[in-house]
Amino acid sequence: MSTALVWFRRDLRIADNPALCAAVAAGHTPIPVYIHAPHEEQPWEPGAATRWWLHHSLLALAADLKALGSGLVLCRGDTALELDRLIEQTGACAVYWNRMYDPALVRRDASIKEGLRGRGIEAHSHAAHLIAEPWEIKNGSGEPYRVFTPFWRKLKTCLPLPEPLPAPTSLTPHEVSGVELDSLELLPRIDWDQGFYGAWSPGSEAAREQLDEFAIGALENYAQGRDRPDRPGTSRLSPALHFGEISPRQVADRLLRKASLAQRELAEPYLRELGWRDFGHHLLYHFPHTTEQPLQSSFADFPWAEVDPAQLSAWQRGRTGIPIVDAGMRQLWATGWMHNRVRMIVASFLTKNLRYHWLHGARWFWDTLVDADLAANTQGWQWTAGSGADAAPYFRIFNPITQGERFDPLGSYVRKYVPELAHLPAEHIHQPWSVGGVRGYPKPILDLKHSREAALAAYSELRKGI
């Protein structure tokens, strides 16, 4: 049999893996390979929290492949050189992979594909990460979308998706060796990640179990429950989707094809969130400059405030004196994740009240989120800052007090992550200064009303120049 390399990236699963299935269907003996080359993703090389997840996800994938009779070859270094070395070593006639859409990786993959084919090596890339490829969804003028609602109307026509591809029942053994997982140095050298182990179980099996738990439990109340950080109302599948431990096709299949009619109707709000995920990749692919620059060009001249390092540190570590903001930032530090509603609140506080450039927040999230995804991170921060797609004018400023009172009405979320305030009754927990403050908990680092007014004034000045 001929040999083919199957180049794993953010598709760390065996079931519904188009590249792996295509290699097997073509009659090749597949050699699964993962090449660690973070320098090729600069300036957005993987952050510390995602490296932690990657370590454990690779461990789980290696075990899954071993159970089928194969093994995962780990390499590190320049991707093109490593692929060439493996081709020479194994006599592989083809390389299969599933696509990614980060700007640096699009350029790298195109170069690798051209180089392989130029030397007579088959190079096959496949769609595995999204509901639809970014170039497949266009508006009536043949242009990319910049507004979500019409994008979602078009994307919904792709549903239901084809059934997921089954995992191979067995794989041919190979004797190709690579480096040890520990040599990739993915785990942190200090113990700040200890809370991750109790919060997460990376790997495809855990992702499928999490999907089942969501479908049976939280899906019924997802439309309302997804905004409540004090309740388990979300799927918590974002890290698994980012690393490809589970595919959108598998998720849609579970929520639509393998569900009752009532459950399928309940799935619409969640599938819409998967649509937002596709929209983020759509924007990133068509507007790659947005990882650093505003999508709305008028914001290039916005008068961001000069950063006060002490204030930025207070935001990063949950010491702002604003309870819902601090709870979110401490949840992030402790677990590598933050509830989406709270992500919007803390992002608004940074970009509107502190009026710091959204990149300060984007880079902190990039390093501390286990689900840090360039498309979602860029889209979310630009949206909150007012400079991105679907962005309402800059006057959308979240009031963290009313947000806390509405979405954490009993204060349970704040009590969990800000224990200094645990003794306060619900009517005071979101504004402890109303009872004269709490010993050991900081006073607010700014005046919410005055900072809001300053943000609106800055936006007004920007509008005058448009």
Q: State the number of CA atoms in the 13 A half-sphere of 353 facing the CB.
A: 24
298 band by pLDDT with thresholds 50, 70 and 90? confident
State the pairing for strand pair 73-76/29-36: parallel
Assigned CATH for 3-128? 3.40.50.620
- pLDDT for res 392: 62
140 band by pLDDT with thresholds 50, 70 and 90? very high
Question: Comparing 293-297, 368-372, 423-427, which segment has the lowest mean pLDDT?
Answer: 293-297
How do residues 195-251 score in pLDDT, each as one tens digit?
999 999 999 999 999 999 999 888 889 999 999 999 999 999 999 999 999 999 999
- pLDDT for res 370: 98
Give me the residues paired with residue 125 across strands: 97
Q: How many residues does the chain have?
A: 466
For residues 397 and 395, the model is more confident at 397
Phi and psi at residue 392, to the nearest 5°: -70, 165
How do residues 371-395 score in pLDDT, each as one tens digit?
999 999 999 999 999 999 876 655 6
CA–CA gap between residue 17 and residue 165 (Å, rounded): 7
- pLDDT for res 465: 60
Q: Tell me if 421 sits within 8 A of 430, measured CB to CB.
A: no
- pLDDT for res 259: 66
- pLDDT for res 172: 94
Angle at CA 112, nearest 5°, toward 107 and 117? 130
- pLDDT for res 466: 55
Q: Tell me if 49 sits within 8 A of 372, measured CB to CB.
A: yes
Three-class DSSP category at 186: coil
CA–CA gap between residue 149 and residue 157 (Å, rounded): 13
CA–CA gap between residue 28 and residue 137 (Å, rounded): 33
How do residues 258-291 score in pLDDT, each as one tens digit?
667 777 788 999 999 999 999 999 999 999 999 9
- pLDDT for res 334: 96
Q: How far is CA 66 from the centre of its chain?
A: 28
- pLDDT for res 264: 76
Amino acid at 401: I
Q: Among residues 234, 233, 229, 450, which one has the least CA distance to residue 326?
A: 229
CATH architecture of residue range(s) 130-163+203-286: Alpha Horseshoe (1.25)
Phi and psi at residue 3, to the nearest 5°: -115, 140
Question: Comparing 66-70, 112-116, 223-227, which segment has the lowest mean pLDDT?
Answer: 223-227
Average per-residue pLDDT for the chain: 95
What mean pLDDT is predicted for residues 87-97? 97
Instruction: Write down the pTM of the prediction.
Output: 0.95
Question: Comparing 39-48, 166-175, 255-264, which segment has the lowest mean pLDDT?
Answer: 255-264
CATH architecture of residue range(s) 297-464: Orthogonal Bundle (1.10)
- pLDDT for res 391: 60
What mean pLDDT is predicted for residues 451-463? 89
What mean pLDDT is predicted for residues 344-370? 98
Alpha helices, DSSP H, located in 301-399: 309-316, 323-335, 340-348, 358-368, 374-385
Q: Where are the domains of the chain?
A: 3-128, 130-163+203-286, 297-464
How do residues 127-136 score in pLDDT, each as one tens digit?
999 999 999 9
DSSP H/E element including 79? helix 79-90
pLDDT at residue 87 greater than cutoff 70: yes
